[in-house]
Amino acid sequence: MNPNNINIMYVEDDEFVNNTISDLLKKLNYNVFNFYNGIDAFEYFKDNRIDIVISDIHMPKMNGIELIKKIKSINFKTPVIFTTAMNDEKYLLDSISLKIDRYMKKPIDCKDLKENIDEVLLPFILEEENRKKDELIKQQSKDILIAKTVSMISHQWKQPLSKIGTITSKLRIYSQLNKLTQERLFESLEKIDNENKYLSSTINKFNSILEKKLSEEFSLLNLLNDLKNSDYILDLEKDIIIKSNYEEFKEIFKNIINNSYEQFENRKIEKPKISILSYSDNEFLNIKIIDNAGGIDTNILEKVFDLYYSDESLNTKGLGLFLTKFSLTLLVNAQITLENIKYNNEKGVCVKIRIPNNYIKEF
């Protein structure tokens, strides 16, 4: 446990005790911010990062109980160690209600204080380490996807570049044979222009996904209602706030839903239905988008998110599903899977999206 990165707030009205304990904590390489009353301590806490608060209870202007109530109203996770020379049952009960992490009697034993700080901070340090690991995994996933993107662009460009090469070769031959008419020249130039437009649109499509998006908080229910140009059944466990880019998410859901409607039309489904369900677990918000369009060939299911896979029986072809997965990974490090299911005695496809809870906020 590296104390160099830990900010300790120490609040004690006794000047001698305050200076003694503050000096001790500094010698242990903690970053110490010491105060002699609760008011000054709280004013500093509001605008600065504090990892743990060590506070006396009996102080002038604002006692320790009042101070911690205010601190917990800003960040209820802030760990707190109370120090006191008195054994007051009322304060003990207040400490329990405030979920104080440790309660130490004065005079403070230096070794005990160090052990208490380490024990109190350990869960928070582990949580921070896990967060950093998750960020690293997310970044690695992005790097892999970007590498795949370069490969995808290369793949997408091969055919149009080959066509352009063929057209220019023919133009050269016609010119050498003195058979290059103005009509043939204009026709060839138009074909080259069309291929260039395709090349440009491919780059623009990937640039749009890769550029940093504005993150905002939006309601999942509002987003789904915003898309509702046709009837579908909503069964959300509760309304959820997602922290990401609204327009990108809207485009992802629109594509998935439109793909189902394309299948309804292709297969002439008489009573098309789409159900959207959501529920949460300890790690993810789970969203299921279910249709009754008959499902997908089982031989195709494992390949639908592959870079170059395309099949006429899929609701979306070519770049579609790959880009959907790509966008979800970049935006919220989400997982997306697709499976055949039987729902309400009808065969269909279930698209399942799993969004980590750190991108979610409940109403």
Q: CATH number, domain at 347?
A: 3.30.565.10
- Amino acid 306: pLDDT: 67
pLDDT in tens, 118-130: 888 888 778 777 7
329 and 238 part of one domain: yes
Q: Which residues pair with 81 in a beta bridge?
A: 54, 102
Cα 122 to Cα 64, 71, 79, 331: the distances in Å are: 23, 20, 11, 30
354 and 239 part of one domain: yes
pLDDT > 90? residue 136: no
- Whether 151 is in a domain gets the answer yes
pLDDT > 60? residue 1: no
Q: Distance between CA atoms of 194 and 13, rounded to whole angstroms? A: 78
Q: What is the mean pLDDT of residues 214-233?
A: 81
- Amino acid 304: pLDDT: 76
Q: Distance between CA atoms of 291 and 272, rounded to whole angstroms? A: 8
Cα 212 to Cα 135, 145, 178, 230, 248: the distances in Å are: 16, 15, 52, 31, 11
User: Which domain covers residue 310, as residue numbers?
Assistant: 216-362
Cβ neighbour number for residue 353 with a 10 Å cutoff = 23
The pLDDT-based confidence of 97 (bands split at 50, 70, 90) is low
- Amino acid 313: pLDDT: 42
172 and 259 part of one domain: no
350 and 238 part of one domain: yes
The pLDDT-based confidence of 321 (bands split at 50, 70, 90) is confident
Ramachandran angles phi, psi of 27, nearest 5°: -65, -25
- Whether 53 is in a domain gets the answer yes
- Whether 58 is in a domain gets the answer yes
CB 20 within 8 A of CB 5: no
DSSP track, 207-267: HHHHSPPPPEEEEHHHHHHHT-SS--EEEESS-EEEEE-HHHHHHHHHHHHHHHHHHHHHT
252 and 349 part of one domain: yes
pLDDT > 50? residue 252: yes
> CB neighbours of 33 closer than 8 A, spacing ≥ 6?
7, 8, 9, 10, 44, 48, 50
pLDDT > 50? residue 314: no
CB 23 within 8 A of CB 71: no
Diameter of the chain measured on Cα atoms: 108
175 and 228 part of one domain: no
Domain tally, the chain: 3
pLDDT > 80? residue 176: yes
pLDDT > 60? residue 316: no
204 and 224 part of one domain: no
Provide the residue type at 116 as one letter: N
358 and 228 part of one domain: yes
Ramachandran angles phi, psi of 360, nearest 5°: -120, 145
- Whether 128 is in a domain gets the answer no
The pLDDT-based confidence of 8 (bands split at 50, 70, 90) is very high
As a whole number, the mean pLDDT across the chain is 82
200 and 222 part of one domain: no
The pLDDT-based confidence of 208 (bands split at 50, 70, 90) is low
pLDDT in tens, 284-307: 999 999 999 998 888 777 777 765
The phi-psi region of residue 345 (left if phi > 0; otherwise alpha if psi is between -120 and 50; otherwise beta) is left
- Amino acid 36: pLDDT: 93
Residue 234 host element (H or E): strand 233-236
70 and 178 part of one domain: no
- Amino acid 57: pLDDT: 87
Point out the domain boundary residue: 168, 189, 210. Answer: 210
CB 259 within 8 A of CB 323: no
- Whether 137 is in a domain gets the answer no
55 and 183 part of one domain: no
- Whether 343 is in a domain gets the answer yes
